[in-house]
Amino acid sequence: MKPVIALVGRPNVGKSTLFNRLTKTRDAIVADFAGLTRDRHYGNGKQGKHEYIVIDTGGFEPDATSGIYKEMAKQTRQAVAEADVVVFVVDARGGLSAQDHDIAKYLRKLGKPCILVANKAEGMKEGAQLVEFFELGLGEVFPISAAHGQGIRSLVDVALEPL
């Protein structure tokens, strides 16, 4: 069985763009509109020696109680349940939000391997802007740029090497 990576994070942080990078397809719907990808979406991927399955998800609102957000949260919980490792994507440019804190709290309780990734980090100086993400209590922050294909290979290594 190939390891399963679930991409989790609030809408618009670049999960679908990362999914496309990891699977080298344009299958995921990349939207300029928050929350368009509402269903789980699976793809096969290969980077170097690693072969894996990726699950893209819609944006996650852990405490959503109604409508589409409740459904998105359910889909995401199911994706996380199926995953061997969770990649939690935050926005290096947008900074931390209350939603990020809620998701982090959920993931910390889960006790599954979780990699914290700051996307949209192209052209940013290492360090300074990423320090705030340590607040999430998930350890090291890995800067990547899904759109520009930066940091993808090392992300896969970090996510799958310990499995």
| Residue 17 binds which entry of ligand GDP, Mg ion, none, CB below 5-8 Å type-dependent | ligand GDP
50-69 residues in contact with ligand GDP (CB under 6 A) are 59
Query: What stretches of 32-83 show up as alpha helix (H) in DSSP?
Result: 67-82
Q: Do 160 and 87 meet the contact criterion of CB atoms below 8 Å apart?
A: no
Which is it for strands 4-8 and 141-143: parallel, antiparallel or unpaired?
unpaired
Contacting range for ligand GDP; rule: CB under 6 A; set: 6-14, 47-55, 69-77, 153-161: 6-14
122 binds ligand GDP (CB under 6 A): yes
Confirm whether residue 56 is marked as ligand binding: yes
Taking CB under 5 A as the rule, which mask of x and - marks residues 33-62 in contact with Mg ion? ----x-------------------------
CA dist 144 and 69 (Å) reads 27
Q: How buried is 81 (Cβ within 10 angstroms: 0-12 exposed, 13-18 middle, 19+ buried)?
A: exposed
**Minimum CB distance to ligand GDP, residue 73 (Å):** 15
Ranges assigned E (strand) in 1-160: 4-8, 41-47, 50-56, 85-91, 114-119, 141-143
Binding site for ligand GDP (CB under 6 A): 9, 11-17, 30-32, 37, 59, 119-120, 122, 145-148
Binding site residue list for GTP: 9-16, 56-60, 119-122
